[in-house]
Amino acid sequence: MKKFFFLLTVLLTTVSFAQKEFQGMAVYESKTSTADFKSRFEGNKEITPEMQKMIEERMKKMFEKTFILNFDKSASIYKEEERLDAPGQGQGGMRMMSSFMGGGGTHYKNVKEKIYKVDKEFMGKEFLVKDSLTNYNWQMSGETRVIGGYNCFKATAVIPASKTDFRNFRPKRNDDKKEEKPKEEAKKTSFLDEIDLPKEITITAWYTPEIPVSQGPEGYWGLPGLILEVNDGKTTILCSKVVLNPKDKADIKAPTTGKEVSQKEYDETVIKKMEEMSEMGGRGGFQMGRGR
């Protein structure tokens, strides 16, 4: 009987989605583990307990955000919920870190045309990244759970780790290095040689056929239902609210601001800037830091 009512619910929902002007809105809470970042401050005598507390509070603010996804049957826009920051917050190193994470802007996905566009601000410059949607080779599972009253199914996929997403970076520890390189050779070391970056990451998603659109937060898509939760091992994005056919319709259009580049071109620009700042070293440049 329970299975019958579930199938009936899916059928009725599918009929409502056939409406020409269908649109939906979903609110997501994003939270990234800061354990690896906190470990970089352990044993550093230059950082007082007060300073560490302030850093942790700012990191929490930066790694815990709310996003809004507006979607229809073929496209969506995903962006951070606007909020007023307290004076003095989000400045200096935290602002730079946020820039390396590619924060801000609007993430547009068109599952019919299989393209995405994202407007990004990086080091004071505006970019419009346009490329093909990631092809997730989802492995479906019979495992189920309920999220926000919706019946969800589990799916997993393995994808290459992004070299320009700060959340994937892990500073190498001295004891992880087999031997120190000569100074001449060290000068030629790439920024990417100074960090531990996984080759692949496993994505775990929970989607609901009760909302039959192939959409989700950030760049996630490709399942027979809206993705209500997704985890990449470090960041969890969980849907906290869904509104179908809201009274106020959103304008689901691709962003147009910034220099248009492919994802590869944008990544190359970011990595080049990281290496330039790494070479500046003690002169105030960007450093990942090393464990003690």
* pLDDT tens, residue order, the chain (292 aa): 545 444 445 444 544 555 557 899 999 999 987 666 655 555 566 667 777 777 767 777 777 899 999 999 999 999 998 766 544 444 444 555 555 554 568 999 999 999 999 999 888 889 999 999 999 999 999 899 999 999 999 999 999 988 777 776 666 655 554 454 555 444 555 555 666 777 889 999 999 999 999 999 999 999 999 999 999 988 999 999 999 999 989 999 999 999 999 999 998 998 888 888 777 654 444 444 443 3
Cα–Cα distance list, 117 to 26, 103, 107, 114, 261 (Å) = 19, 14, 6, 11, 10
25 within a domain of the structure (yes/no): yes
**Among 247, 249, 203, 201, which Cα is nearest to 227's?**
203
Rg of the chain in Å (alpha carbons):
21
**Among 123, 83, 71, which Cα is nearest to 101's?**
123
289 within a domain of the structure (yes/no): no
pLDDT, position 289:
44
pLDDT, position 282:
45
Average predicted confidence (pLDDT) for the chain: 78
Looking at the structure of the chain, the number of domains it has is 1
Are 195 and 110 contacting, i.e. CB atoms less than 8 angstroms apart? Answer: no
242 within a domain of the structure (yes/no): yes
Domain limits at 109?
2-283
Are 109 and 217 contacting, i.e. CB atoms less than 8 angstroms apart? Answer: no
Are 270 and 129 contacting, i.e. CB atoms less than 8 angstroms apart? Answer: no
291 within a domain of the structure (yes/no): no
74 vs 110: CA distance, rounded Å? 6
288 within a domain of the structure (yes/no): no
Which residues does 76 contact at the CB level (< 8 Å), separation at least 6?
69, 70, 108, 109, 215, 252
Which residues does 255 contact at the CB level (< 8 Å), separation at least 6?
105, 106, 108, 117, 118, 119, 128
Rounded to two decimals, the pTM is: 0.78
74 vs 284: CA distance, rounded Å? 46
The packing angle between helices 49-63 and 92-100, to 10°, is 40
261 within a domain of the structure (yes/no): yes
pLDDT, position 87:
43
pLDDT, position 123:
82
115 vs 236: CA distance, rounded Å? 24
290 within a domain of the structure (yes/no): no
pLDDT, position 89:
44
Are 142 and 153 contacting, i.e. CB atoms less than 8 angstroms apart? Answer: yes
45 within a domain of the structure (yes/no): yes
